[in-house]
Structure 1
Protein backbone atom coordinates (compact mmCIF):
# COMPACT_ATOMS: atom_id res chain seq x y z
CA UNK A 1 0.00 0.00 0.00
CA UNK A 2 2.88 2.38 0.73
CA UNK A 3 3.92 2.15 -2.94
CA UNK A 4 0.61 3.63 -4.09
CA UNK A 5 0.34 7.34 -4.78
CA UNK A 6 -1.48 9.53 -2.23
CA UNK A 7 -4.21 10.13 -4.81
CA UNK A 8 -4.82 6.40 -5.25
CA UNK A 9 -4.68 5.89 -1.49
CA UNK A 10 -7.25 8.64 -1.06
CA UNK A 11 -9.55 7.02 -3.59
CA UNK A 12 -9.20 3.50 -2.20
CA UNK A 13 -9.45 4.65 1.42
CA UNK A 14 -12.64 6.58 0.73
CA UNK A 15 -14.01 3.65 -1.30
CA UNK A 16 -13.38 1.29 1.61
CA UNK A 17 -15.00 3.71 4.05
CA UNK A 18 -17.99 4.19 1.75
CA UNK A 19 -18.46 0.44 1.35
CA UNK A 20 -19.20 0.18 5.08
CA UNK A 21 -22.47 1.94 4.29
CA UNK A 22 -23.59 -1.16 2.39
CA UNK A 23 -22.34 -3.50 5.10
CA UNK A 24 -24.15 -1.56 7.80
CA UNK A 25 -27.43 -1.85 5.89
CA UNK A 26 -27.27 -5.66 5.57
CA UNK A 27 -29.61 -6.36 8.54
CA UNK A 28 -32.59 -5.02 6.56
CA UNK A 29 -32.14 -7.86 4.06
CA UNK A 30 -32.95 -10.30 6.86
CA UNK A 31 -35.72 -8.26 8.43
CA UNK A 32 -33.66 -7.47 11.53
CA UNK A 33 -34.36 -3.83 12.25
CA UNK A 34 -32.92 -2.36 15.47
CA UNK A 35 -35.12 -0.26 17.71
CA UNK A 36 -35.27 3.50 17.29
CA UNK A 37 -33.29 3.91 20.51
CA UNK A 38 -30.53 1.64 19.21
CA UNK A 39 -30.40 3.52 15.93
CA UNK A 40 -30.12 6.84 17.76
CA UNK A 41 -27.33 5.39 19.89
CA UNK A 42 -25.46 4.26 16.77
CA UNK A 43 -25.97 7.58 14.99
CA UNK A 44 -24.69 9.34 18.10
CA UNK A 45 -21.63 7.12 17.82
CA UNK A 46 -21.24 8.24 14.20
CA UNK A 47 -21.42 11.89 15.28
CA UNK A 48 -18.75 11.31 17.92
CA UNK A 49 -16.40 9.71 15.41
CA UNK A 50 -16.87 12.58 12.97
CA UNK A 51 -16.43 15.17 15.71
CA UNK A 52 -13.16 13.65 16.91
CA UNK A 53 -11.92 13.19 13.34
CA UNK A 54 -12.65 16.83 12.59
CA UNK A 55 -10.46 18.07 15.42
CA UNK A 56 -7.75 15.45 15.94
CA UNK A 57 -7.25 14.31 12.34
CA UNK A 58 -7.98 17.52 10.45
CA UNK A 59 -7.96 20.76 12.47
CA UNK A 60 -4.86 20.05 14.58
CA UNK A 61 -2.83 18.86 11.54
CA UNK A 62 -4.06 21.95 9.68
CA UNK A 63 -2.70 24.18 12.44
CA UNK A 64 0.59 22.26 12.43
CA UNK A 65 0.91 22.61 8.65
CA UNK A 66 0.13 26.32 8.76
CA UNK A 67 2.64 26.93 11.57
CA UNK A 68 5.40 25.45 9.40
CA UNK A 69 4.75 28.11 6.77
CA UNK A 70 4.08 31.19 8.87
CA UNK A 71 6.10 32.63 11.74
CA UNK A 72 3.23 34.73 13.05
CA UNK A 73 1.09 32.90 15.59
CA UNK A 74 -2.02 34.69 14.35
CA UNK A 75 -1.71 33.67 10.70
CA UNK A 76 -2.10 29.88 11.20
CA UNK A 77 -5.09 30.38 13.46
CA UNK A 78 -6.71 32.79 11.02
CA UNK A 79 -6.17 30.44 8.06
CA UNK A 80 -7.69 27.48 9.86
CA UNK A 81 -10.66 29.45 11.19
CA UNK A 82 -11.45 30.91 7.77
CA UNK A 83 -11.09 27.51 6.08
CA UNK A 84 -13.41 25.87 8.63
CA UNK A 85 -16.03 28.52 7.99
CA UNK A 86 -15.62 28.10 4.23
CA UNK A 87 -16.14 24.35 4.57
CA UNK A 88 -19.27 24.83 6.63
CA UNK A 89 -20.49 27.46 4.21
CA UNK A 90 -19.93 25.23 1.19
CA UNK A 91 -22.08 22.43 2.59
CA UNK A 92 -24.69 24.94 3.75
CA UNK A 93 -24.77 26.36 0.22
CA UNK A 94 -25.32 22.90 -1.30
CA UNK A 95 -27.96 22.21 1.32
CA UNK A 96 -29.73 25.42 0.33
CA UNK A 97 -29.41 25.22 -3.45
CA UNK A 98 -29.84 21.52 -4.21
CA UNK A 99 -33.34 20.05 -3.93
CA UNK A 100 -33.32 17.21 -1.41
CA UNK A 101 -35.32 15.57 1.35
CA UNK A 102 -34.65 14.46 4.91
CA UNK A 103 -37.00 11.88 6.37
CA UNK A 104 -37.14 13.87 9.60
CA UNK A 105 -37.61 17.42 8.28
CA UNK A 106 -39.11 16.96 4.83
CA UNK A 107 -38.27 18.57 1.51
CA UNK A 108 -35.75 21.37 1.20
CA UNK A 109 -34.14 23.35 -1.60
CA UNK A 110 -35.55 24.76 -4.85
CA UNK A 111 -38.16 22.86 -6.88
CA UNK A 112 -38.04 19.90 -4.52
CA UNK A 113 -41.64 18.99 -5.26
CA UNK A 114 -40.84 18.24 -8.92
CA UNK A 115 -38.48 15.34 -8.17
CA UNK A 116 -39.30 11.82 -7.04
CA UNK A 117 -38.87 11.39 -3.32
CA UNK A 118 -36.15 8.75 -3.55
CA UNK A 119 -33.99 11.06 -5.67
CA UNK A 120 -34.47 13.88 -3.19
CA UNK A 121 -33.28 11.59 -0.43
CA UNK A 122 -30.29 10.38 -2.45
CA UNK A 123 -29.27 14.01 -3.04
CA UNK A 124 -29.52 14.66 0.70
CA UNK A 125 -27.27 11.69 1.49
CA UNK A 126 -24.83 12.81 -1.20
CA UNK A 127 -24.55 16.23 0.45
CA UNK A 128 -23.92 14.39 3.71
CA UNK A 129 -21.38 11.81 2.47
CA UNK A 130 -19.25 13.91 0.14
CA UNK A 131 -17.47 15.81 2.96
CA UNK A 132 -16.59 12.48 4.59
CA UNK A 133 -14.90 11.21 1.43
CA UNK A 134 -13.21 14.58 1.00
CA UNK A 135 -11.80 14.34 4.53
CA UNK A 136 -10.37 10.87 3.90
CA UNK A 137 -8.77 12.02 0.64
CA UNK A 138 -7.29 15.11 2.25
CA UNK A 139 -5.85 12.96 5.03
CA UNK A 140 -4.09 10.63 2.60
CA UNK A 141 -2.98 13.53 0.43
CA UNK A 142 -1.52 15.34 3.42
CA UNK A 143 0.41 12.54 5.11
CA UNK A 144 -0.04 9.25 3.28
CA UNK A 145 -1.10 6.22 5.29
CA UNK A 146 -0.46 7.79 8.68
CA UNK A 147 -2.69 10.75 7.85
CA UNK A 148 -5.46 8.94 6.00
CA UNK A 149 -5.78 5.53 7.65
CA UNK A 150 -7.27 6.75 10.96
CA UNK A 151 -9.79 8.83 9.03
CA UNK A 152 -10.70 5.97 6.69
CA UNK A 153 -11.19 3.55 9.59
CA UNK A 154 -13.13 6.02 11.71
CA UNK A 155 -15.40 7.25 8.94
CA UNK A 156 -15.92 3.68 7.78
CA UNK A 157 -17.08 2.72 11.27
CA UNK A 158 -19.55 5.58 11.42
CA UNK A 159 -20.82 4.84 7.91
CA UNK A 160 -22.22 1.49 9.06
CA UNK A 161 -24.96 2.90 11.33
CA UNK A 162 -25.68 5.59 8.76
CA UNK A 163 -26.21 2.94 6.08
CA UNK A 164 -28.60 1.10 8.37
CA UNK A 165 -30.50 4.30 9.12
CA UNK A 166 -30.89 5.03 5.41
CA UNK A 167 -32.14 1.52 4.62
CA UNK A 168 -34.59 1.47 7.54
CA UNK A 169 -35.99 4.85 6.49
CA UNK A 170 -36.50 3.57 2.95
CA UNK A 171 -38.28 0.49 4.27
CA UNK A 172 -40.61 2.83 6.11
CA UNK A 173 -41.38 4.52 2.80
CA UNK A 174 -42.54 1.24 1.29
CA UNK A 175 -39.41 0.09 -0.53
CA UNK A 176 -38.59 -3.62 -0.66
CA UNK A 177 -35.74 -4.98 1.47
CA UNK A 178 -33.49 -5.47 -1.55
CA UNK A 179 -34.14 -2.05 -3.01
CA UNK A 180 -33.73 -0.31 0.35
CA UNK A 181 -30.37 -2.02 0.81
CA UNK A 182 -29.31 -1.23 -2.76
CA UNK A 183 -30.08 2.47 -2.48
CA UNK A 184 -28.33 2.67 0.90
CA UNK A 185 -25.28 0.96 -0.61
CA UNK A 186 -25.21 3.37 -3.56
CA UNK A 187 -25.18 6.41 -1.29
CA UNK A 188 -21.71 5.40 -0.11
CA UNK A 189 -20.28 5.61 -3.63
CA UNK A 190 -19.99 9.40 -3.50
CA UNK A 191 -17.24 9.08 -0.90
CA UNK A 192 -14.50 7.79 -3.25
CA UNK A 193 -15.27 10.73 -5.55
CA UNK A 194 -14.66 13.08 -2.63
CA UNK A 195 -11.57 11.09 -1.68
CA UNK A 196 -10.11 11.38 -5.16
CA UNK A 197 -10.78 15.12 -5.27
CA UNK A 198 -9.39 15.79 -1.80
CA UNK A 199 -6.20 13.79 -2.27
CA UNK A 200 -5.66 15.21 -5.76
CA UNK A 201 -5.93 18.84 -4.74
CA UNK A 202 -3.67 18.45 -1.71
CA UNK A 203 -1.06 16.45 -3.64
CA UNK A 204 -0.91 18.92 -6.52
CA UNK A 205 -0.65 22.02 -4.33
CA UNK A 206 1.00 21.57 -0.93
CA UNK A 207 0.61 25.26 0.05
CA UNK A 208 -3.14 24.75 0.34
CA UNK A 209 -2.70 21.82 2.74
CA UNK A 210 -3.85 23.68 5.88
CA UNK A 211 -6.75 25.14 3.92
CA UNK A 212 -7.81 21.73 2.65
CA UNK A 213 -7.60 20.02 6.03
CA UNK A 214 -9.58 22.73 7.80
CA UNK A 215 -12.10 23.01 4.94
CA UNK A 216 -12.84 19.28 5.19
CA UNK A 217 -13.22 19.63 8.96
CA UNK A 218 -15.68 22.48 8.57
CA UNK A 219 -17.74 20.50 6.08
CA UNK A 220 -17.98 17.58 8.50
CA UNK A 221 -18.80 19.83 11.45
CA UNK A 222 -21.74 21.25 9.51
CA UNK A 223 -23.07 17.77 8.81
CA UNK A 224 -22.73 16.81 12.48
CA UNK A 225 -24.56 19.89 13.72
CA UNK A 226 -27.17 20.22 10.99
CA UNK A 227 -27.99 16.58 10.28
CA UNK A 228 -26.85 13.93 12.71
CA UNK A 229 -27.29 15.39 16.19
CA UNK A 230 -30.78 16.83 15.53
CA UNK A 231 -31.85 13.46 14.12
CA UNK A 232 -30.67 11.60 17.23
CA UNK A 233 -32.43 14.01 19.60
CA UNK A 234 -35.90 14.14 18.08
CA UNK A 235 -37.23 10.84 19.45
CA UNK A 236 -36.56 11.23 23.17
CA UNK A 237 -33.33 9.21 23.20
CA UNK A 238 -30.94 12.06 23.94
CA UNK A 239 -29.12 10.20 26.71
CA UNK A 240 -28.42 7.18 24.52
CA UNK A 241 -27.35 9.41 21.64
CA UNK A 242 -24.98 11.32 23.92
CA UNK A 243 -23.53 8.06 25.22
CA UNK A 244 -22.95 6.95 21.64
CA UNK A 245 -21.30 10.26 20.81
CA UNK A 246 -18.97 9.93 23.80
CA UNK A 247 -17.93 6.40 22.85
CA UNK A 248 -17.43 7.36 19.21
CA UNK A 249 -15.32 10.37 20.12
CA UNK A 250 -13.14 8.34 22.49
CA UNK A 251 -12.69 5.53 19.97
CA UNK A 252 -11.72 7.91 17.17
CA UNK A 253 -9.20 9.63 19.44
CA UNK A 254 -7.69 6.22 20.23
CA UNK A 255 -7.56 5.28 16.54
CA UNK A 256 -5.96 8.58 15.60
CA UNK A 257 -3.16 8.12 18.14
CA UNK A 258 -2.73 4.39 17.49
CA UNK A 259 -2.88 4.39 13.68
CA UNK A 260 -1.51 7.89 13.09
Structure 2
Protein backbone atom coordinates (compact mmCIF):
# COMPACT_ATOMS: atom_id res chain seq x y z
CA UNK A 1 0.00 0.00 0.00
CA UNK A 2 2.79 2.41 0.94
CA UNK A 3 4.67 1.61 -2.26
CA UNK A 4 1.75 2.32 -4.56
CA UNK A 5 0.95 5.58 -2.80
CA UNK A 6 4.55 6.80 -2.94
CA UNK A 7 5.02 5.62 -6.53
CA UNK A 8 1.76 7.14 -7.74
CA UNK A 9 2.48 10.40 -5.94
CA UNK A 10 6.00 10.74 -7.35
CA UNK A 11 4.77 9.88 -10.85
CA UNK A 12 1.92 12.39 -10.60
CA UNK A 13 4.00 15.16 -9.04
CA UNK A 14 6.56 14.95 -11.84
CA UNK A 15 3.95 16.85 -13.84
CA UNK A 16 4.32 19.68 -11.35
CA UNK A 17 8.10 19.36 -11.49
CA UNK A 18 8.00 20.02 -15.22
CA UNK A 19 5.54 22.86 -14.76
CA UNK A 20 7.87 24.38 -12.15
CA UNK A 21 10.17 25.49 -14.95
CA UNK A 22 7.69 28.15 -16.07
CA UNK A 23 8.29 30.03 -12.80
CA UNK A 24 11.85 30.71 -13.96
CA UNK A 25 10.93 31.95 -17.41
CA UNK A 26 11.71 35.61 -17.93
CA UNK A 27 8.94 36.94 -20.14
CA UNK A 28 7.60 34.60 -22.79
CA UNK A 29 9.31 32.17 -25.13
CA UNK A 30 10.10 33.24 -28.65
CA UNK A 31 8.05 31.65 -31.43
CA UNK A 32 11.03 29.57 -32.46
CA UNK A 33 11.64 28.08 -29.02
CA UNK A 34 7.92 27.62 -28.40
CA UNK A 35 7.54 25.72 -31.67
CA UNK A 36 10.61 23.62 -30.94
CA UNK A 37 9.29 22.79 -27.46
CA UNK A 38 5.90 21.82 -28.86
CA UNK A 39 7.59 19.57 -31.43
CA UNK A 40 9.93 18.08 -28.81
CA UNK A 41 6.96 17.26 -26.57
CA UNK A 42 5.11 15.80 -29.57
CA UNK A 43 8.12 13.54 -30.18
CA UNK A 44 8.15 12.38 -26.56
CA UNK A 45 4.42 11.70 -26.65
CA UNK A 46 4.69 9.89 -29.99
CA UNK A 47 7.42 7.57 -28.72
CA UNK A 48 5.57 6.98 -25.44
CA UNK A 49 2.37 6.08 -27.29
CA UNK A 50 3.91 3.90 -29.99
CA UNK A 51 6.76 2.25 -28.06
CA UNK A 52 5.37 2.03 -24.53
CA UNK A 53 1.60 2.35 -24.19
CA UNK A 54 0.52 0.44 -27.32
CA UNK A 55 3.04 -2.43 -26.98
CA UNK A 56 2.07 -2.81 -23.32
CA UNK A 57 -1.60 -2.87 -24.28
CA UNK A 58 -0.89 -5.48 -26.99
CA UNK A 59 1.02 -7.66 -24.57
CA UNK A 60 -1.66 -7.52 -21.91
CA UNK A 61 -4.79 -7.64 -24.08
CA UNK A 62 -4.15 -8.20 -27.78
CA UNK A 63 -5.27 -6.39 -30.89
CA UNK A 64 -8.95 -5.83 -30.11
CA UNK A 65 -8.46 -3.88 -26.85
CA UNK A 66 -5.81 -1.75 -28.58
CA UNK A 67 -8.06 -0.96 -31.55
CA UNK A 68 -11.06 -0.30 -29.29
CA UNK A 69 -9.09 1.84 -26.84
CA UNK A 70 -7.49 3.89 -29.59
CA UNK A 71 -10.85 4.46 -31.26
CA UNK A 72 -12.51 5.48 -27.98
CA UNK A 73 -9.63 7.84 -27.20
CA UNK A 74 -9.82 9.55 -30.58
CA UNK A 75 -13.62 9.79 -30.51
CA UNK A 76 -13.54 11.20 -26.98
CA UNK A 77 -11.02 13.87 -27.92
CA UNK A 78 -12.96 14.70 -31.10
CA UNK A 79 -16.17 15.10 -29.10
CA UNK A 80 -14.40 17.25 -26.54
CA UNK A 81 -12.98 19.49 -29.25
CA UNK A 82 -16.47 20.08 -30.63
CA UNK A 83 -18.11 20.51 -27.24
CA UNK A 84 -15.66 22.82 -25.46
CA UNK A 85 -16.86 26.39 -26.01
CA UNK A 86 -14.75 29.52 -26.21
CA UNK A 87 -14.60 30.59 -22.57
CA UNK A 88 -14.16 33.93 -20.83
CA UNK A 89 -12.76 33.80 -17.29
CA UNK A 90 -12.88 36.68 -14.85
CA UNK A 91 -9.30 37.18 -13.70
CA UNK A 92 -8.08 40.24 -11.80
CA UNK A 93 -11.25 42.09 -12.86
CA UNK A 94 -10.44 41.51 -16.51
CA UNK A 95 -12.02 39.17 -19.02
CA UNK A 96 -9.28 36.86 -20.23
CA UNK A 97 -10.05 34.78 -23.27
CA UNK A 98 -9.03 31.14 -22.96
CA UNK A 99 -8.25 29.49 -26.28
CA UNK A 100 -10.28 26.26 -26.58
CA UNK A 101 -7.15 24.57 -27.95
CA UNK A 102 -5.42 25.18 -24.63
CA UNK A 103 -8.49 23.89 -22.78
CA UNK A 104 -8.45 20.83 -25.02
CA UNK A 105 -4.80 20.12 -24.25
CA UNK A 106 -5.38 20.51 -20.50
CA UNK A 107 -8.42 18.21 -20.64
CA UNK A 108 -6.63 15.66 -22.83
CA UNK A 109 -3.58 15.50 -20.57
CA UNK A 110 -5.84 15.10 -17.53
CA UNK A 111 -7.87 12.34 -19.22
CA UNK A 112 -4.92 10.29 -20.35
CA UNK A 113 -3.38 10.52 -16.88
CA UNK A 114 -6.28 8.42 -15.55
CA UNK A 115 -5.37 5.15 -17.33
CA UNK A 116 -1.69 5.87 -16.70
CA UNK A 117 -2.44 6.05 -12.97
CA UNK A 118 -4.45 2.85 -13.23
CA UNK A 119 -1.53 1.11 -14.91
CA UNK A 120 0.79 2.19 -12.08
CA UNK A 121 -1.62 0.89 -9.45
CA UNK A 122 -2.20 -2.40 -11.23
CA UNK A 123 1.55 -2.85 -11.75
CA UNK A 124 2.14 -2.53 -8.02
CA UNK A 125 -0.69 -4.93 -7.24
CA UNK A 126 0.50 -7.57 -9.71
CA UNK A 127 4.19 -7.45 -8.75
CA UNK A 128 5.21 -9.25 -5.57
CA UNK A 129 8.32 -7.12 -4.97
CA UNK A 130 7.02 -3.83 -6.32
CA UNK A 131 9.82 -3.62 -8.89
CA UNK A 132 7.39 -3.61 -11.81
CA UNK A 133 5.34 -0.85 -10.21
CA UNK A 134 8.47 1.22 -9.56
CA UNK A 135 9.53 0.82 -13.19
CA UNK A 136 6.14 1.85 -14.60
CA UNK A 137 5.83 4.77 -12.16
CA UNK A 138 9.31 6.00 -13.09
CA UNK A 139 8.68 5.72 -16.83
CA UNK A 140 5.33 7.53 -16.64
CA UNK A 141 6.85 10.17 -14.36
CA UNK A 142 9.55 10.90 -16.94
CA UNK A 143 6.86 11.36 -19.55
CA UNK A 144 4.72 13.57 -17.30
CA UNK A 145 7.39 16.24 -16.72
CA UNK A 146 7.41 17.76 -20.23
CA UNK A 147 3.63 17.47 -20.32
CA UNK A 148 3.38 19.60 -17.18
CA UNK A 149 5.64 22.22 -18.70
CA UNK A 150 3.59 22.20 -21.90
CA UNK A 151 0.30 22.70 -20.07
CA UNK A 152 1.72 25.51 -17.94
CA UNK A 153 3.18 27.15 -21.04
CA UNK A 154 -0.17 27.02 -22.81
CA UNK A 155 -1.85 28.67 -19.83
CA UNK A 156 0.83 31.36 -19.65
CA UNK A 157 0.22 32.11 -23.31
CA UNK A 158 -3.39 32.85 -22.27
CA UNK A 159 -2.17 35.58 -19.87
CA UNK A 160 -2.66 33.47 -16.75
CA UNK A 161 0.07 34.25 -14.22
CA UNK A 162 2.92 31.81 -13.66
CA UNK A 163 1.81 30.54 -10.27
CA UNK A 164 -1.74 29.77 -11.36
CA UNK A 165 -0.42 28.09 -14.51
CA UNK A 166 1.91 26.00 -12.35
CA UNK A 167 -0.90 24.98 -9.97
CA UNK A 168 -3.34 24.04 -12.75
CA UNK A 169 -0.69 22.03 -14.59
CA UNK A 170 0.23 20.20 -11.38
CA UNK A 171 -3.41 19.33 -10.76
CA UNK A 172 -3.68 17.66 -14.19
CA UNK A 173 -1.20 15.08 -12.93
CA UNK A 174 -2.58 14.78 -9.40
CA UNK A 175 -5.47 12.66 -10.68
CA UNK A 176 -2.94 9.84 -11.15
CA UNK A 177 -2.74 9.44 -7.36
CA UNK A 178 -6.47 8.69 -7.14
CA UNK A 179 -6.53 6.42 -10.19
CA UNK A 180 -3.35 4.67 -9.01
CA UNK A 181 -4.93 3.78 -5.67
CA UNK A 182 -8.13 2.75 -7.45
CA UNK A 183 -6.18 0.45 -9.76
CA UNK A 184 -4.35 -1.08 -6.82
CA UNK A 185 -7.51 -1.85 -4.83
CA UNK A 186 -9.65 -3.02 -7.74
CA UNK A 187 -7.04 -5.04 -9.61
CA UNK A 188 -9.25 -8.11 -9.87
CA UNK A 189 -11.84 -6.00 -11.74
CA UNK A 190 -9.62 -3.46 -13.45
CA UNK A 191 -6.95 -5.83 -14.80
CA UNK A 192 -8.86 -6.71 -17.96
CA UNK A 193 -9.51 -3.01 -18.59
CA UNK A 194 -5.84 -2.00 -18.38
CA UNK A 195 -5.06 -2.61 -22.10
CA UNK A 196 -8.14 -0.55 -23.03
CA UNK A 197 -6.98 2.24 -20.72
CA UNK A 198 -3.44 2.20 -22.08
CA UNK A 199 -4.73 2.29 -25.67
CA UNK A 200 -7.17 5.07 -24.74
CA UNK A 201 -4.24 7.10 -23.42
CA UNK A 202 -2.31 6.43 -26.63
CA UNK A 203 -5.29 7.46 -28.78
CA UNK A 204 -5.71 10.71 -26.87
CA UNK A 205 -2.01 11.47 -27.21
CA UNK A 206 -1.90 10.68 -30.94
CA UNK A 207 -4.91 12.91 -31.55
CA UNK A 208 -3.24 15.81 -29.76
CA UNK A 209 0.08 15.21 -31.54
CA UNK A 210 -1.31 15.24 -35.06
CA UNK A 211 -4.24 17.61 -34.61
CA UNK A 212 -2.66 20.25 -32.39
CA UNK A 213 1.04 20.01 -31.56
CA UNK A 214 2.51 19.39 -35.00
CA UNK A 215 0.36 22.01 -36.78
CA UNK A 216 1.06 24.53 -34.00
CA UNK A 217 4.80 23.91 -34.24
CA UNK A 218 4.73 24.53 -38.02
CA UNK A 219 2.76 27.75 -38.01
CA UNK A 220 5.47 30.42 -37.67
CA UNK A 221 8.08 29.48 -40.28
CA UNK A 222 10.26 27.27 -38.09
CA UNK A 223 9.31 23.96 -39.68
CA UNK A 224 12.87 22.64 -40.06
CA UNK A 225 14.10 23.20 -36.45
CA UNK A 226 10.73 21.95 -35.21
CA UNK A 227 11.14 18.78 -37.26
CA UNK A 228 14.60 18.23 -35.80
CA UNK A 229 13.21 18.86 -32.33
CA UNK A 230 10.42 16.33 -32.94
CA UNK A 231 12.96 13.67 -33.89
CA UNK A 232 15.14 14.52 -30.88
CA UNK A 233 12.06 14.17 -28.67
CA UNK A 234 11.41 10.68 -30.08
CA UNK A 235 15.04 9.65 -29.55
CA UNK A 236 15.00 11.11 -26.04
CA UNK A 237 11.97 9.02 -25.07
CA UNK A 238 13.39 5.92 -26.78
CA UNK A 239 16.56 6.31 -24.70
CA UNK A 240 14.51 6.65 -21.52
CA UNK A 241 12.45 3.57 -22.36
CA UNK A 242 15.64 1.58 -22.98
CA UNK A 243 17.28 2.80 -19.78
CA UNK A 244 14.18 2.07 -17.72
TM-score normalized by structure 1? 0.76
The match for 2:40 among 37, 45, 50 is 45
The match for 1:128 among 108, 121, 142 is 108
Q: Are 2:233 and 1:248 equivalent residues in the alignment?
A: yes
Q: 3-state DSSP class of the match of 1:25?
A: helix
1:138-166 deviations in whole A, cap 9, x for unaligned? 44134312123112112313433553354
CA gap 1:124/1:117 in 2 versus in 1, 3 angstroms: farther
Q: 3-state DSSP class of the match of 1:59?
A: helix
The match for 2:172 among 185, 191, 214 is 191
Stretches of structure 1 lacking an aligned partner (at least 5 in a row):
67-75, 100-106
CA gap 1:245/1:50 in 2 versus in 1, 3 angstroms: same
Q: Are 2:214 and 1:229 equivalent residues in the alignment?
A: yes
Residue matched to 2:153: 164
Q: Are 2:3 and 1:4 equivalent residues in the alignment?
A: yes
1:132 Cα deviation (Å)?
4.6
| C-alpha distance in 2 between matches for 1:50 and 1:242 | 14
Residue matched to 1:81: 67
1:63 Cα deviation (Å)?
0.3
Number of residue equivalences = 226
CA RMSD of aligned residues (A): 2.7
Runs of 4+ in 1 over 3 A off after TM superposition: 112-125, 200-203
User: Does the CA contact (< 8 Å) of 1:139 and 1:213 recur in 2?
Assistant: yes
TM-score normalized by structure 2? 0.80
User: Does the CA contact (< 8 Å) of 1:154 and 1:255 recur in 2?
Assistant: no
| C-alpha distance in 2 between matches for 1:185 and 1:125 | 15
CA gap 1:231/1:252 in 2 versus in 1, 3 angstroms: same
Residue matched to 2:139: 150
Stretches of structure 2 lacking an aligned partner (at least 5 in a row):
124-132
User: Does the CA contact (< 8 Å) of 2:42 and 2:233 recur in 1?
Assistant: yes
